[in-house]
Amino acid sequence: MELLFLGTGAGVPAKERNVSSVALQLLDERGATWLFDCGEATQHQILHTAIRPRRIEHIFITHLHGDHLFGLPGLLGSRSFQSGETPLTVFGPKGIRAFVETALSVSGTRLRYELNIAEIEEGVIFDDERFQVIAKRLDHGMPSYGFRVVEKDLPGPLLVERLQALGVRPGPIYQEIKQGKTVVLDDGTVIDGREFVGPPQKGRIVAVLGDTRFCEAAIELARDADVVVHEATFAAAEQRLAHDYFHSTTTDAAEVARRAGAKRLILTHISSRYQGAAALQLVAEARSVFPNTELAVDFASFSIPRG
């Protein structure tokens, strides 16, 4: 599991930062990539990475402002020409369907894969045997959502050394034991599989939040998360400006992570007014509230280990 930032700027593209998009790489977990937002030129940014568009399984759009959305039609169209044949689902606020269908229709774009569009409300928006995604509405000038990605706990590891000490050799019986079944060996010995499986491995939690003022919904989504991705459009001294434009400061983001008991904070959606040393000052401000804070830049990647 890894976060790869494709665009970390706010509002308009800049030389150092493209507009918003971040990829959650789930290659080991499900052989797929999930995108969160798809600002203008996201597919150009992808060209500089190892991401394969055909492996993009889900795209989550936080809100319908252009810097989070305008790259979507182009990416969807190009995926057809890059061996993309598997289904893809776009999740987003009401209006996302009209935007995508109109763009594809007017441009005469025909997709070679099944495209599903889900207009979301608060609650569980995705759930399968490995992952659950929860959405909550944040505090922005238009409907904007944050997403909580929860990896479900994995079964504990098979205690192979203990089995071998009993003379149980590898084979199909190992799978039965790992499933916690009771098995009978050739010599009549009865083994309770539950006694030979370690404790479950705790799943990881990633919170990716759209544009927002400081709000309780952000804290709830970030609760005990391994990583929180939060906008920090403005420096701490610009609190009034941030509030007026429905955005967050560095210390707003840090306070969300602190109150949520999160393990790690990554700042993104940085205004182009902060370049060089000024950008470094942003992360210093956040660290004064939440020490384990990092500042995302385009193409930065962050692994998310277990534990």
Binding residues: 63, 65, 67-68, 140, 211, 269
Q: Centre a 10 Å sphere on the Cβ of residue 26 and count the other Cβ atoms it contains.
A: 20
Would you list which residues are annotated within the binding site for Zn(2+)?
Answer: 63, 65, 67-68, 140, 211, 269
Cα separation, 20 vs 14, in Å, equals 11
Tokens of 153: 């706990």
Mind telling me the catalytic residues?
Answer: 67
Q: Is 290 exposed, middle or buried (0-12, 13-18, 19+ CB in 10 A)?
A: buried
Phi-psi category of residue 33: left, alpha or beta, with phi > 0 → left and psi -120 to 50 → alpha: beta
Q: Kindly give, in sequence order, each residue whose CB lies less than 8 Å from that of residue 178, ignoring residues fewer than 6 positions away.
A: 155, 158, 193, 197
Task: For residue 231, list its beta bridge partners.
Answer: 268
Backbone angles phi, psi at 50, to 5 degrees: -90, 5
98: tokens are 């009209």
Burial environment of residue 166 by CB neighbours within 10 A (0 to 12, 13 to 18, 19 or more): exposed
Q: How far is CA 68 from CA 36, 58, 214, 235, 259, in A?
A: 9, 15, 19, 21, 27
- Compute φ and ψ for 117, nearest 5 degrees: -125, 125
Q: Which residues contact 106 (CB under 8 A, 6 or more apart)?
A: none
Alpha-carbon 202 to chain mean position: 17
